Copies of this chain bind each other. A is one copy, B any other.
Amino acid sequence: MSDKSHNELPIGVFDSGVGGLTVLKAIRETLPNENLVYLGDTARLPYGTKSPASIERYATQAAERLQQEGIKLLVVACNTASAVALGALRAALDPLPVVGVVEPGATAAVEARPGGRHLVLATEATVGLHAYRDAIAGRDAGAEVREKACEMLVALAEEGWSDGEIARAIVRRYLCEAGGARTDTIILGCTHFPLLIDTIRAVAAADAVLIDSASTTAGFVAAALETDGARRSGRSPGTLRLLATDGVTRFARVGGRFLGHGMSDRDVELIDL
């Protein structure tokens, strides 16, 4: 299917909050000509503490809203929603292609170190769901996976304290608690963690490969569009729309850190789901 007007449609990116903006940023860097629309369901965050049934309902509502806006592919830029609701989203949005963040990260880790020892840093919710463990086991029976919940890293990223001695001390403690010195890869299994990649690299063993789910997901998106013949033609830079369901001011302030450039309230549209 290669259809010019279809190919002009934006890629939809959905998260419970601002974290998925790291995925959006990676997609923009990989595919600068693509139009993008981002939806942060800030009224109902965090998804991680909700029941699977609620997460599935919220994610489906958000995704259907993006589908109504008109998109050519959906990225579920939220580890919890990817772990819980990917199947339900694919069924609800069929035939729209849906890409989650867990599969690209797991695939990249297995390709980087077949039969390797992997350490997944994630939120408590993602660790509890064992999404990366299962995705890696399904791709490499010889792999060994440890998962470590690192809630303080979320707070560090949102506070903008991504480097410096406090950030290093916190990362060091988590890696130490996880026995992190003995690992082949470190998978950033939370969309907030790419902001901390330099700090994690500084603290981790020199030979550990860092797997950034944001950039691996961007690669998956590029491949999916290529396969479908759905890349936007032309060389003009793609447009960007940002939607949030609550707290536009905070979204703009914290989100700017994740997107890598400042934004104001006026850059974010408040919507109701």
Contacts and interface: CB of A to CB of B under 8 A. Distances in A.
Counting contact residues on chain A (CB < 8 A from B), the size range is 20 to 34
Tell which of A42, A154, A166 has the most Cβ of chain B within 10 Å: A166
Q: Copies per complex? A: 2
Contact of A246 (B45, B50, B159, B246): B50
Interface string A235-253: 0000000000011001000
Contacts of A246: 49-51, 54
Contacts of A161: 152
Interface in A161-187: 161, 165-166, 169-170, 173
A43 interface: yes
Interface string A81-124: 00000000000000000000000000000000000000000001
A155 interface: yes
Interface in A208-252: 246-247, 250
A interface: dominant SS: helix
A158 interface: yes
Contacts of A170: 166
Nearest to A249: B128
A145 interface: no
Interface string A23-44: 0000000000000000000110
Contacts of A269: none
7 tightest A-B CB contacts, nearest first: A155-B155, A49-B247, A152-B155, A166-B169, A152-B159, A151-B159, A151-B155
